[in-house]
């Protein structure tokens, strides 16, 4: 019978972290990662060296594995049978092919979007490429995002064609080996792609990256100067005020006889501060001193780690007077529970000061963040300019797609 308690954690673990590990089925497979001008971006959705594209893919990943887990649970419970995560071809994906958009007299169809999603799915989830239910969930939760990517991509490629940008075959071949390993044909077959389809996608990815370097990244880099970085550091200092963290324990003595509790607390303080009795031995020492007295108790708290803002004013007043490794004299305080008198001894184990990073330590990161923000702005400007240049309006694209359109249908092939 289907065990939801075991299935869900295992699937979340596999899908959440599967993309980060190397697939054992593909030899010498490397993760596609490009770093240029201090900007890092995964190329699973190709082209733009901008954080927004990477965030989009992370968002798609999260939606995919969450909804895939839920859909698998639903199918298993509806059929009252275990959902098998194996290579059995139990489902078929029906494709409702049609034109979804038209960019510069070039139609983009459901099949075009599907092929692109196949490549992304292979890169991110190679271990699930044979599972139709997994692929279907990825399609349904990704196709609109990928369609928009393809539209933007075709606009950039049209611009590249006007600019007479060239990409040679050697560059395409090197990128293909980087993405699919030395056994390209077999791995493309797993991804459901032909070598011509993959070569064209890789060729376009390279062209698109270069156009963004020329049209976007270079402009963004010129916008950031040393004075901007200095201003960003000043803002960083305002946002990261120095904060102390105290690591401490509290010994609490309470009882019906306040005088007896006070004397016991003083005795324990002397043992801790002068005779250096270990803190963990205090309760045993107190037990021996109390004998048959059951009305007086001694408790040692677990170790606290509190930021300055999280420490109560009463505790803070004492802790700021201590040096690491020292004890406070017994202090009488009122219990918040029953208003009885409690004698507390504070032990400050450590005081950690969280100083803001120096300008030298953080300048490179601040500059990278500023460049990235400028890239985001320039990217939007560039795409808006291309839409205007090639007369592509959002309303035109929406008119191509009926509101209730379902591009994919998952059909079971199991016999009843």
pLDDT at 396: 66
For the full predicted model, state whether its pTM sits above 0.75: no
DSSP SS3 for 389: helix
What residue numbers bound the domain in which 317 lies? 242-354
Shared-domain flag, residues 222 and 246: no
Domain boundary among 354, 386, 404: 354
Over residues 177-186, the pLDDT tens digits come to 888 888 888 8
Asked if 76 and 163 sit in the same domain, the reply is yes
Percent residues over pLDDT 70 in the chain: 76
In 3D, which of 127, 125, 133, 15 has the Cα closest to residue 78?
133
**16 and 120 together in one domain:** yes
Q: Which residue has the higher pLDDT, 247 or 38?
A: 247
328-360 residue pLDDT tens: 999 998 887 777 889 999 999 998 887 888 999
Q: Are both 182 and 67 inside the same structural domain?
A: yes
Nearest to 44 by CA among 154, 143, 118, 107: 118
For residues 138 and 32, state if they share a domain. Answer: yes
Cα separation, 122 vs 26, in Å, equals: 11
Is residue 195 domain-shared with residue 101, that is, in the same domain? Answer: yes
Same domain as 46, residue 174: yes
What residues are paired with 299 via a beta bridge? Answer: 252
Position 84 confidence tier, pLDDT thresholds 50, 70, 90:
very low
Q: How far apart are CA 327 and CA 272, in angstroms?
A: 7
Give the number of domains in the chain: 2
Could you tell me if residue 234 is inside a domain?
Answer: no
């Amino acid at each position: 019978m289907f065990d939801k308690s075991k299935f869900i954690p295992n699937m979340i673990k596999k899908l959440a972290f599967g993309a980060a590990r190397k697939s054992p089925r593909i030899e010498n497979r490397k993760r596609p990662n490009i770093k240029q001008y201090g900007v890092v971006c995964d190329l699973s959705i190709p082209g733009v060296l901008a954080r927004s594209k990477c965030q989009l893919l992370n968002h798609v990943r999260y939606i995919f594995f969450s909804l895939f887990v839920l859909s698998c649970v639903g199918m298993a419970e509806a059929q009252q049978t275990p959902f098998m995560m194996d290579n059995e071809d139990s489902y078929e994906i029906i494709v409702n092919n049609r034109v979804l958009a038209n960019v510069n007299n070039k139609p983009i169809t459901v099949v075009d979007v599907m092929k692109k999603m196949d490549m992304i799915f292979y890169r991110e989830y190679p271990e699930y490429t044979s599972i139709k239910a997994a692929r279907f969930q990825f399609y349904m939760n990704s196709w609109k995002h990928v369609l928009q990517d393809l539209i933007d991509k075709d606009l950039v490629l049209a611009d590249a064609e006007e600019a007479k940008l060239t990409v040679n075959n050697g560059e395409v071949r090197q990128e293909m080996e980087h993405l699919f390993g030395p056994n390209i044909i077999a791995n493309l077959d797993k991804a459901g792609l032909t070598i011509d389809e993959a070569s064209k996608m890789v060729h376009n990815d390279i062209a698109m990256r270069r156009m963004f370097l020329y049209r976007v990244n270079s402009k963004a880099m010129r916008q950031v100067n040393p004075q901007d970085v200095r201003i960003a550091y000043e803002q960083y200092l305002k946002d990261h005020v120095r904060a102390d963290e105290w690591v401490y324990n509290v010994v609490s003595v309470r009882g019906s006889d306040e005088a007896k509790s006070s004397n016991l607390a003083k005795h324990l303080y002397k043992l801790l501060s002068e005779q250096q009795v270990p803190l963990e031995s205090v309760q045993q020492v107190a037990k021996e001193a109390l004998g048959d007295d059951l009305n007086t108790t001694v408790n040692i708290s677990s170790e606290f780690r509190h930021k300055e803002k999280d420490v109560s004013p009463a505790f803070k007043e004492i802790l700021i007077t201590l040096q690491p490794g020292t004890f406070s004299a017994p202090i009488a305080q009122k219990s918040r529970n029953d208003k009885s008198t409690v004698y507390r001894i504070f032990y400050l184990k450590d005081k950690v000061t969280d100083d803001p990073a120096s300008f030298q330590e953080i300048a490179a990161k601040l500059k990278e963040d500023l460049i990235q923000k400028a890239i985001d702005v320039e990217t939007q400007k560039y795409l808006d300019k291309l839409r205007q240049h090639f007369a592509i309006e959002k309303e035109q694209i929406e008119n191509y797609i009926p509101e209730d359109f379902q591009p994919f249908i998952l059909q079971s092939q199991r016999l009843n």
